[in-house]
Homo-oligomer: A and B are copies of this chain.
Amino acid sequence: MTESLDAVRRRFDAGVRALQDRIVDAVRALDPALEVREDLWERTDAAGEPGGGGRTRALSGEVVESGGVNTSCVWGAVDPAFVAQLGGQEGDRLWAAGISLILHPRNPRVPTTHANFRMIGLGGRTWFGGGADLTPYHPHLDDFRHFHRTWQEACAPLGTYAAWKAWCDRYFTNHHRDGEMRGIGGVFFDGWGGDHPAASADAVLRLGDAFLPSWIPLAARRKDEPYTEAEEDFMLHRRGRYVEFNLLHDRGTAFGLRTGGRTESILVSLPARVRFGYRWAPPEGTPQAEMMALYRPREWVG
C-alpha cells in the first residue's frame, strides 16, 4: 500500500523534530554551559488563516557563542508574486517543513557550520532541498576533508555528492566579492526527489543524520586550542562576509521572510559579534591569508 502524501508529510515533520532534539542534545554535551532558549511560534498565512508554526531553539554558550537549531512546519496561502517565482500557479497553496541550524563557535579554531533539510509542497508538486556547509577560520585541512568525506559517504546511496558539492560551491558565494565563497562548501540541493516523496523523505532524513558526525568531532577536537587576537579578528571579519551572504544572496532567508516566517528565528543565523572593514584583508604569509585562498571551489576528497 502506498503511503499517502499527508502521511509522508507528517513523518518528515516528526523526523526533523526528532533530529532537532538529537542535535541540541549533542551540542549540549559538547558545551555544558550552553543556554537553550526555546520558543514555540505560530504563523498566520497570507489570507489571515492559521498557517502552522515552528519550534525555535536559540543557543548561546562557551563553545557555541551563538546559533540556533530550528524546525518549522508551515502551510496555506502565500503571496501570489512569490508563488509565481517558485514556478507555481495562482491559488497554489504551500506546505513546507524543515530543520535549519547554524552554529557560530567562539574559538576561531572551530568552524562555523550550517545545515538545513526541508520538504516543500506547492499546489500538486513536492520537492526536497537542503545541505550542509562549513565556514572555517583556520587551515586545518584535515578537518575540511573529514567534513566533505562525511557528506560524500552520506550521499553515496544517492550518487549525488559530486553534483551537490559543485552546487554548494556555486550557491554559497558572495557574487559581489568576485566569487569568494562564504566558506569551504559542503553539499547543497534543491528541487529534488519529487517523483517518489515517501522514499525521498526517508533519504533526506537519513542525510540529516550525517550532520552530527560531520561537525561534532571537529568542534570537540579544536574547542580548547589556544588562539591569538589576530585569529579572532579574522573570524569576526569573516562573520561580516557571512552576514553579507545571508542578507544579500541567501534564498532561504528571503524565502522565510517572504512566506511570513518568524524574523527572529530566521535571523538567529546572524552571528553575535561581527566586524566590517574597508578593504579588509589579512597580512600576507599568515594562516589567515592561506584561508582566504581556500574560500574557492576545490576538491576536498578523492
Contact surface of A with B, Cβ cutoff 8 Å: 37, 39, 58, 60, 66, 68, 176-178, 240, 243-244, 247-248, 257, 263-264, 267-268, 270-279
Contact of A278 among B58, B178, B247, B257 (CB under 8 A): B58
Rounded to whole angstroms, the CA-CA distance of A37 and B279 in the bound complex is 10
Which residues of chain B have C-beta atoms less than 8 A from A271's C-beta? 276
Question: In the complex, what distance in Å separates the CA atom of A264 from the CA atom of B177?
Answer: 9
Contacts of A267 in B (CB 8 A): 244, 276
Question: Distance in Å from the Cβ of A96 to the closest Cβ of chain B?
Answer: 18
Say yes or no: B257 contacts A247, CB within 8 Å. no
List B contacts of A274 (CB < 8 A).
Answer: 240, 243, 273-276
Q: List 18 A-B contacts (CB under 8 A).
A: A37-B278, A37-B279, A58-B279, A66-B276, A68-B278, A240-B274, A243-B247, A243-B276, A244-B267, A247-B248, A264-B278, A264-B279, A267-B276, A268-B278, A272-B275, A272-B276, A273-B274, A274-B274
Q: Report chain B residues within 8 Å CB of A247.
A: 243-244, 247-248
Of all chain B residues, the one with the shortest Cβ separation from A268 is: B278
Given A176-B263, A177-B263, A257-B176, A278 and B244 touching (CB < 8 A)? no
Whole-angstrom distance between the Cβ of A185 and the nearest chain B Cβ: 22
Give the residue of B176, B264, B270, B275 whose beta carbon is less than 8 angstroms from that of A240.
B270
In the complex, chain B residues whose CB is within 8 Å of the CB of A248: 247, 257
Are A278 and B66 closer than 8 Å at their CB atoms? yes
